[in-house]
């Protein structure tokens, strides 16, 4: 019997190395739609939601609403060349295949826009039970977790969240689910010590493939 029935993965810095791609996309987005703004006002707040980043920068609510509409349009129409270049980390792909072969349900959540997340998954030909990204009215990973567990009929005790940032530990604890922190070359955190400072995730791995040993009973591996 597996230790967990559902594994929810963070996207950026956990499953794929997307930092430079996000920077390139935001530069293009602002040049096309909001050239009067600095093109790094979202990217420089990595780890924050898009809404939080814009609020920190003092952008007015009506402008934020317009920016979300344009951002959704941008990802659907103006960024395919960049999105096509975003590939899942080979170690993450290997893990996802192993989990699928052992009937472990998987989902992916991200504070990036839903339109972007869905395109990345489609271009990588990866199957998840659910993919949930930010929308103008919902940018709350805790709500994403609740929706995924409800849709997959998985209790909290049988759910594991895999992420790479302090906020991932915090939101997992608030949601009442176990957390595994991945610290690899693609992780956005600057240091493992800083990542774990004053936080206590249930698991820490330096190779995402080792998540299989956490999820599955050793006799099944």
pLDDT tens readout for residues 147-169: 999 999 999 999 999 999 888 99
Evaluate whether 208 touches 92 at the Cβ level (below 8 Å): yes
169 vs 139: CA distance, rounded Å: 17
∠ CA(76), CA(82), CA(83), 5° rounding?
55
| DSSP-assigned beta bridge partners for residue 113 | 134
pLDDT of residue 198: 67
User: Quick one: pLDDT at residue 221?
Assistant: 46
Distance separating the N- and C-terminal Cα atoms of the chain: 11
* pTM assigned to the model: 0.90
Q: What is the pLDDT of residues 178-218, one digit of tens each?
A: 999 999 999 877 778 877 776 889 999 999 999 999 999 75
> Three-state DSSP class for 181?
strand
CA-nearest of 14, 44, 5 to 120 is 14
Q: How far is CA 131 from the centre of its chain?
A: 10
Low-confidence ranges of the chain (pLDDT < 50): 219-221
Residue 13 region, left (φ>0) first, then alpha (ψ -120 to 50), else beta?
left
């Amino acid at each position: 019997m597996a230790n967990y029935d559902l594994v929810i993965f963070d996207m950026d810095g956990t499953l794929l190395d997307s930092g430079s791609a996000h920077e390139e996309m935001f530069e293009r987005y602002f040049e096309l739609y909001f050239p009067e703004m600095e093109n790094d006002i979202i990217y420089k707040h990595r780890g924050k939601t898009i809404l939080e980043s814009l609020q920190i920068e003092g952008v007015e609510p009506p402008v934020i609403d317009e920016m979300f509409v344009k951002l959704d349009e941008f990802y659907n129409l103006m960024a395919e060349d960049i999105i096509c270049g975003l590939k899942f980390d080979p170690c993450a792909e290997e893990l996802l295949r192993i989990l699928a072969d052992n009937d472990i349900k998987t989902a992916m959540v991200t504070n990036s826009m839903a339109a972007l997340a869905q395109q990345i998954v489609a271009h990588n030909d990866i199957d998840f039970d659910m993919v949930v990204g930010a929308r103008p009215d919902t940018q709350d990973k805790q709500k994403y977790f609740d929706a995924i567990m409800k849709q997959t009929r998985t209790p909290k005790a049988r759910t594991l969240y895999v992420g790479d940032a302090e906020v991932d530990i915090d939101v997992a604890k608030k949601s009442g689910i176990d957390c595994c922190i991945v610290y690899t070359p693609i992780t956005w955190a600057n240091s493992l010590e800083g990542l774990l400072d004053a936080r206590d995730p249930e698991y820490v791995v330096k190779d995402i493939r080792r998540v299989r040993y956490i999820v599955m009973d050793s006799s099944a591996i």
